[in-house]
Amino acid sequence: MTYKGLLAIRVLWQRSILDTDLFLKEVLNACLNKPLILVDRGPWYPEALRFYGLQWRLWT
């Protein structure tokens, strides 16, 4: 079964690759498969997402 919907969202005052890493760990623990991640233009996203081998798209 494929579910297409919002799995998780987090709004932070400070954003960094560490915050992204912690968030991605929580998301991946809740998923059976690797989800498509929608991100804004934060420069810290590509490195963290590539580390986990995740697909991502800009959503602004």
Number of domains in the chain: 1
| Residue 2 belongs to some domain of the structure | no
Q: Note whether residue 34 is domain-resident.
A: yes
In terms of Cβ atoms closer than 10 Å to its own Cβ (0-12, 13-18, 19+), residue 30 is exposed
Which range of residues forms the domain containing residue 24? 17-58
12 within domain boundaries: no
Q: Length of the chain in residues, anyone?
A: 60
Mean pLDDT in residue range 17-27: 87
Mean pLDDT, the chain, whole residue set: 84
Which runs of E-coded beta strand occur in 1-60? 37-39, 56-58
Lowest mean pLDDT of 5-9, 35-39, 41-45, 55-59, name the range. Answer: 5-9
Please indicate, yes or no, if residue 45 is contained in any of the structural domains. Answer: yes
Tell me if 6 is assigned to some domain: no
Q: Look up residue 4 and give its two tokens.
A: 């297409």
**Look-up: residue for tokens 């996203």?**
45
Question: How far apart, in whole angstroms, are the C-alpha atoms of residue 17 and residue 7?
Answer: 20
